[in-house]
Structure 1
Amino acid sequence: MACKFGSEHDLIKAAVNIFMKEFKGQVPEVAACAPGRVNLIGDHTDYNDGFVFPMALPLLTVIVGKKNDADKCVVVTEAKDADKPVKVEFSVPTTGSLAPGTPKWANYVKGIVQYFKGTVVGFNAVIVTSVPIGGGLSSSASLEVSLYTFLEALTGETDTLRKDKALLCQKAEHEFAKMPCGIMDQFISVMGQAGTALLIDCRSMQETAIPITDPEIAVIITNSNVKRSLASSAYAERRAQCQAAAKALGKSSLRDANENEIDGLREKDPLLYKRAKHVVTENKRTEQAAEALKAGDLQKFGELMVASHESLKTDYEVSCKELDELVAAALEVDGVLGSRMTGGGFGGCTVTLAPKKTAENVIANMKKKYEGEPVFYIMEPAEGTRVLTIPK
């Protein structure tokens, strides 16, 4: 069966209770949230100036807190699987700069505090989340964006444009978490719209909202529960390979290359050819998928998902045995339109498009055929980051 997850109200209530316990009866005054995301198609294209097609999820990171009378930021996380300690304290960066360190989860917090476009004051805060850490659903961007929105509400400094907010959150991840991610995760967490997926041009930072309107279709997300231990190093390696391929072709990025041009790499450098082939064909698939969804051609959309997975597996080599098993099991079920790995790879999640009436059959078959312990979600597109009201 599909997993139930905490609602926005449940998360706020939990965060408030933890805050009052951690900070000795104090009551939080400010709350904000930001969603995780699933990318329907278009992986490892964002850092190549390409196209992605994600939707924001009702899985949320919620932060509650209030100003304190010190120049200290005191933050507690209740996130499952966060490294220890779960409570950190550091100075407001009024004179010097913050530096990354341990625990790792706090680096995302420090990065946002460092790059916030306003005057940060001392605060106490609690973080709760329903976005699984390491599951490929962008728990890191959800944390970054929710904290940025929290600081806006805390300070009243809300002049940052939404796209600039996404870029600042990306910068925090680059500089403090040392993860050279593209812009997709932060962008959709900021800009998500309920009921739609966003086709994002990662070069121009322009988005096109395309409704997901068919009430009979389910988006099934399966967390393999394989932690993405290789993701950080392999991600940086793939990014460097793409830059090398673009340079070999005389291009500023692989966004500007076509299939005929990359063919010249096939014998000269077979590995770079494979990487470039994925990026060029994935960009094409992503644009075609957006058009198919707009036209209501879900059969075509599903076919493109399957082709995307094969490319990520064979040419980009970021899938793994477990993700391949889950995709194959989903595709065995009659009526399933498409299935693919989603996110950075080496573990994490798959996304499957299927009629709602077959969703439980899909889940049952994946459970039966998969050796691990997957968790399933049936999701609808949700809205992006926002300030929340703390219930009285």
Structure 2
Amino acid sequence: MKLLPTTPLEQLEQRGRLLFKKTFPDAGEPCIVAHAPGRVNLIGEHTDYNDGFVLPLALEMQTVVVGSKNGKDKCRIASEAFEGLVEFEPNKDLKPGDPLWSNYIKGVVVNFLRNGYQVPAFDAVVVSEVPVGGGVSSSASLEVATATFIEALGNLHLERSKKALFGQAAEHEFANMPCGIMDQLISECAIQDCALLIDCRSLAMEPVEMKDLNICILVCNSNVKHQLSGSEYPLRKQQCKDAVTVLQSIDPKITSLRDATMEQLNQVKDKMSDVAYRRARHVISENDRTCQAANCLRKNQYEAAGKLMTESHLSLKDDYEVSCKELDILVDLALSVPGVFGSRMTGGGFGGCTVTLLRKDAVSSVLDKIEKEYEKRTGIVATAFITRPGSGANYKRLV
């Protein structure tokens, strides 16, 4: 099983510049290149929209937006991954539409306008190597790269958290996905060689160094995405709200599951449905695991951190019910190899990727195990890549 290569940022930029010249032959040289990474979440799943804690890191894989003002009244955008040219007037009442990928860009434009910023008409192209549908936030990387491009285009200087919120709002309004803030925030704010412990209520961030070169992160893509995930995500969010409503009967100060303890949850267990109880149990315990894992990684206690990651997967599988057969198989195969500290599904679930914390010298054994067993048991070929914690969004001027 071969690892997917990570394309250097300079090569992505060059592909973007070539695509820009091909798409807009009369536009001259592009003036801005902006980029933002995908992400993988080490631990802290389905806690972000419950005001909880998450521990993501940025991938080295990036989405790049290359372009310039065009002096016209329409924005024109093309993507390396999709055919056709998208056009829209930036200052008109934009609505979601086809093609679907363009909605993430339109949603960001709308949020700039809504917050009092001017968005000049521009020509731009998108080049990305962040896997789509793999649970590693390809949409957030596009949103944040777009926001960074517009920021540079207008000579603006926005707070990083504000740009992340623009991306989250685009996801809510133009993709109908009620996500938390984690994906956009790590894509925007990531620090090289660090995971970030993010408090999704206050947006406070604490770097957690991961500089040990003998330890690495392996991301395995199940290459399956079950269609029920679109409806199940908002359902989980509502079930968490239902649990909060019951918890407020014993303490009105509980405004989200972030505020509740396991002791309080068990006090009201008989007053809520079994489903709501299990959803709440996952979130409350996951917050504890996430903070513990950050402390373990700070002390280079990789076995303890890995154990917490594996416990997270079991909770997501049994209490939150967002795993699937393929993800469970990938986790089990990884855990059977010496040198693996922990493994879990990452992202919204129902497919996508697993994340595994392991010694670098164990990578080839894990890949061999997955290559021999995963396709045999699922009929699907998995793909994988290794990542180090990368840096967040940025831009540069070309002319």
Range class of TM-score, shorter chain: over 0.9
- SS at structure 1 position matched to 2:358: strand
Identity of counterpart residues, as a percentage? 49
Aligned letter for 1:322?
E
Distance 1:228 1:133 in 2: 14
2:251 maps to none
- Distance change (3 Å), C-alpha of 1:101 and 1:171: same
Would the aligned equivalents of 1:78 and 1:86 in 2 still touch at CA under 8 Å? no
User: Which of these residues, 290, 294, 298, is aligned with residue 294 of structure 1?
Assistant: 298
Aligned letter for 2:241?
Q
Per-residue CA deviation, residues 212-264 of structure 1 (Å, 9 max, x unaligned), is 02111111001111125222211111011111111111131000111111124
1:101 maps to 97
Would the aligned equivalents of 2:339 and 2:361 in 1 still touch at CA under 8 Å? no
Cα deviation for residue 266 of structure 1 reads: 3.5
Per-residue CA deviation, residues 21-69 of structure 1 (Å, 9 max, x unaligned), is 1112532111100000000000000000000000011110000001112
User: Which of these residues, 199, 202, 205, is aligned with residue 204 of structure 1?
Assistant: 202
Distance 1:78 1:90 in 2: 19
2:128 maps to 129
1:22 maps to 23
Would the aligned equivalents of 1:78 and 1:126 in 2 still touch at CA under 8 Å? yes
Scaled by the length of structure 1, what TM-score is found? 0.95
Cα deviation for residue 389 of structure 1 reads: 4.8
1:258 maps to 261
Which deviates the most, 51-60 or 4-13? 4-13
Aligned letter for 1:115?
N
Distance 2:255 2:243 in 1: 10
Distance 1:151 1:248 in 2: 44
2:385 maps to 377
Per-residue CA deviation, residues 261-306 of structure 1 (Å, 9 max, x unaligned), is 1124544410000000000000000000001011111110000000
Residue segments in structure 2 that go unaligned for 5+ positions in a row: 249-253
Per-residue CA deviation, residues 308-334 of structure 1 (Å, 9 max, x unaligned), is 000000000000000000000000101
Matched ranges for 1:276-315 at <5 A: 276-315=280-319
- SS at structure 1 position matched to 2:224: coil
Aligned letter for 2:203?
M
1:231 paired to 2:235: no
Residue segments in structure 1 that go unaligned for 5+ positions in a row: none
- SS at structure 1 position matched to 2:172: helix
1:350 maps to 354
Cα deviation for residue 97 of structure 1 reads: 1.9
1:165 maps to 163
Matched ranges for 1:73-112 at <5 A: 73-79=75-81, 86-93=84-91, 96-112=92-108
1:65 maps to 67
- Distance change (3 Å), C-alpha of 1:221 and 1:121: same
Aligned letter for 2:362?
T
Cα deviation for residue 335 of structure 1 reads: 1.6
Distance 2:216 2:141 in 1: 23
1:192 maps to 190
1:388 paired to 2:383: no
1:319 paired to 2:323: yes
1:216 paired to 2:214: yes
- Distance change (3 Å), C-alpha of 1:270 and 1:264: farther
Per-residue CA deviation, residues 154-212 of structure 1 (Å, 9 max, x unaligned), is 11122x21111111111111111111000000100110000000000001110000100
2:140 maps to 141
- Distance change (3 Å), C-alpha of 1:234 and 1:329: same
Distance 2:125 2:66 in 1: 6
Would the aligned equivalents of 2:141 and 2:187 in 1 still touch at CA under 8 Å? yes
Would the aligned equivalents of 2:104 and 2:170 in 1 still touch at CA under 8 Å? yes
- SS at structure 2 position matched to 1:203: coil
**Poorly superposed stretches of 4+, deviation over 4 Å:** none
